[in-house]
Amino acid sequence: MKRNEHDAPHPIRQSKNDRWVKIAAYAFVGLFGLICLYPLLLTVTVSFTPESVIASDGYRLIPREWTLDTYTYIFAHSGARILKSYGVTVLITAAGTLGAMLITCMISYAISLKEMRYRNVIAFICNFTSIFSAGLVPWYVVCVNWYHLRDSIFALIIPAMFSVWNMFLMRTYFSAISPSLYDAAKIDGAGHWTIFFRVALPLSKTALLTVGMMYALSYWNDWWHTLMFISDRNLYPLQYYLYSIVSNVNAISSGRVPSGAAASIRLPAETVKMAVTIITIGPIIFLYPFVQRYFVRGIMTGAVKE
């Protein structure tokens, strides 16, 4: 049956007040976005500004002089090692995120099942560890003397592989899945492994992306575990290696150590911090917009109770 053109739904007309409100809302959001973008643009421009200009004019969005001295100092004698550090960072981020997601999701799924015995006890133990800890020294002794994580790539992965907060976030998602779906899968002969991988995980993609992004950012920005466990320079991730560059620049600029090969370059003690920031956040800043909507949706999980 052919529909009459007059039967088609007419679009709702907006009043002038509604249009002005929408314009004002877009203007406010756009202005807020520019305010948030300003520090990033300032970081980029300062990294290309001579140190003398920074000392005389301060930080400016459009400096009166430009230079590549900062990046020249960083990449001139450390380009190959920076690439190797990038490789270490990518490795620990990928392996750590996958391992952390597997462990977190398995625990979260288990304690979300009402028929599981002692699930509240397990949840209490996990929550207890997030509130009370033994301290830095016992943690270091256990990692080094018991787990033998000294100068090992696993020292950069295993200690940060589980987050209680992320576990409870995933449990909230798994708890929201209708138990009838699990019952239907059991009637078809599925076990917990099949239900976990073919029912629970596909229905929790938003939470998986959210928690995965949190773990990936944690591994990507981590330098603390390198400081604690790693002395082999071949295992330095990008963040710790660039941190050492900043420390060396500050030491040379203060005159505590001789400049050596950097004597012909005016060392950018301030701008090198900005350049290091740009180098480290590059891949993440391009990845984040693709998962941002899932990140915001996932972080709001449990905020509204029905």
CA dihedral 55, 60, 66, 68 (to 10 degrees): 80
Pair 40, 152 in one domain: no
For residue 224, what are the domain limits?
78-299
The per-residue pLDDT for 97 is 94
Q: Tell me the per-residue pLDDT of 262-297, one tens digit each, with 9 for 90 and over.
A: 455 555 566 777 887 788 877 777 777 766 666 555
In the chain, how many domains are there? 2
The verdict on 215 and 163 lying in the same domain is: yes
Residue 7 lies in a domain: no
Is residue 247 pLDDT above 80, yes or no? no
Check whether residue 154 and residue 240 sit in a common domain.
Answer: yes
**Highest mean pLDDT out of 11-15, 206-210, 216-220, 238-242:** 216-220
Q: Within the chain, how many helices (H) and strands (E) appear? A: 13, 0
The tens digit of pLDDT for each residue in 139-180 reads: 899 889 898 888 899 999 999 899 898 999 899 889 888 888
In this prediction, residue 304 has a pLDDT band, given cuts at 50, 70 and 90, of very low
Quick: pLDDT tens for 177-202. 888 888 888 888 888 899 999 889 98
* Residue 100 identity: A
Is residue 4 in a domain? no
Q: Is 140 among the domain residues?
A: yes
Same domain for 36 and 150, yes or no, is: no
For residues 229 and 152, the answer to whether their CB atoms sit within 8 Å is: yes
pTM for this one? 0.74
Do both 63 and 209 map to the same domain? Answer: no
High-pLDDT (> 90) share of the chain, %? 15
Q: Do 118 and 23 belong together in one domain?
A: no
For residue 114, what is the DSSP state? T
The CB density around residue 173, as the number of other CB atoms within 10 Å, is: 24
Listed residues 44, 70, 96: the one ending a domain: 70
Residue that is last in its domain, among 70, 88, 114: 70
35 vs 22: CA distance, rounded Å: 20
Token pair listed for 37: 């973008």
50 belongs to a structural domain? yes
